[in-house]
Every structure is written in C-alpha cells, then in structure tokens.
A and B are shown apart, each in its own frame.
Chain A
Amino acid sequence: KAGVTQTPRYLIKTRGQQVTLSCSPISGHRSVSWYQQTPGQGLQFLFEYFSETQRNKGNFPGRFSGRQFSNSRSEMNVSTLELGDSALYLCASSRDRSGNTIYFGEGSWLTVV
C-alpha cells in the first residue's frame, strides 16, 4: 500500500512569489493535515481537511491556505513568500478524525531566497 506522497520534494522560490504543494494521502484515508517544521519553531500545525472541508486551522497568517479534493488529495498554497517561510512542509493522513494514528509523507523542502 503506497504511503503519503508529497510533491515536489525540493523547491526554491523568490520572495514575493507563491508556491503550491501537493499531497496524496494513503488510499482510503480521508483526513489530511499539514505541518510546518523549522529548526526554531519545531512542528507547527497548519490546517486539517476532511471531506473537502477545512476542519481545523493553526495560528498562521492568511497567506497560508489549502484545499482538499473529492479524491482526498490536498494542496497547500503560500502566497507572497517571505524568507521565514523556508521550512519543511509535512503532510499527514489518517483514515478518519479520531486521532487514531496519522502517517506522514517525506515532506516538501521549501527554500525562499
């Protein structure tokens, strides 16, 4: 069974640009969560989607957004990139919203220059 797949794995963007990251959850999983990981802040929760609806949101500015499609695949978008957005963005999926185990992808490394 394929795991959580994130694309692209690595990307470099310039300040002010926007970026879209993609996540394909494990087959049968309907909940997708996104996390930002940086050396200074650790793992920070961005948002969670279930059945194409955002169910929970972390403390990030409106430049960070996401969506989920009917096949449970999810995308997150960051607009007007800042240097501080450089991070590893991790997607995690779970079968439902019960908190009973989430599985992570390999992450997308974003560098903003």
Chain B
Amino acid sequence: AQSVTQLDSQVPVFEEAPVELRCNYSSSVSVYLFWYVQYPNQGLQLLLKYLSGSTLVKGINGFEAEFNKSQTSFHLRKPSVHISDTAEYFCAVSGSGGYQKVTFGTGTKLQVIP
C-alpha cells in the first residue's frame, strides 16, 4: 500500500517570490513520483515526474522537484512565481514494479498575490 501527504492545503505567496509545495509519501516498494497542476475548470496537467536517475527533476513552467528517498519526500519548488501559477497542485505516487495504481494527495492550492 502507498499513500501521499500534502500537508499544506493552501499556500499564499507574493508574485516573484520563491515557493515550495511539500509532498511526503509512504510505500513499501520503489516508487515513481509525479506532480500535476490543475488550473480552474480544467483537467490535470503533468508538471514533472521522477522515474529513476537524477533526484533533481525539472518540469514545465520553471518548476523543479527533488526526490529524497531517506526523507520520503518529493517537494516542488519554483524560484520566482507568476500570477499565472495560481492553481491547485497534486502530488502522486505509484510503485515501480508490475501493476501499480497511482495514488494522489489531497492537493495544495497555490495563490499568487500581486
């Protein structure tokens, strides 16, 4: 079994400031990790993913995330946010062997303040 915890339900941040959205997971097997973004009235768009290799993963729109196995974390960061980054962000995990269901966190709403 696996689970994902996004501790922050809402994160307000001023425009051009840095932001970190936290994600912790638990799993008994090796994992794949994902961040998705959902803009208002839209579906989920893949931001970035960690499958293997380098623990620092770069995604679209200037976002990046770092896989930390010892802390079972996959935090999402952006050095300078823009108004257009206002959206809800979902962290997700799946096991990396055989059939593996994707499990989603409860989401973090990022509100960028002008």
Contact = CB atoms under 8 A, between A and B. Distances in A.
- Chain A contact residues: over half helix, strand or loop, or mixed? strand
Nearest to B49: A101
Interface string A1-18: 000101000000000000
Contact of B100 (A92, A98, A106): A98
A95 interface: no
B43 A105 contact: yes
Determine the interface band of chain B, counting residues with CB < 8 A from chain A.
Answer: 20 to 34
Contact of B94 (A42, A99, A103, A105): A99
Interface stretch (B15-23, B57-65, B72-80, B101-109): B101-109
B46 A103 contact: yes
A104 interface: yes
B90 interface: yes
Determine the interface band of chain A, counting residues with CB < 8 A from chain B.
Answer: 20 to 34
A4 B43 CA distance: 10
A67 interface: no
Interface of B: 32, 34, 36, 41-46, 49, 51, 90, 94-102, 104, 106-107
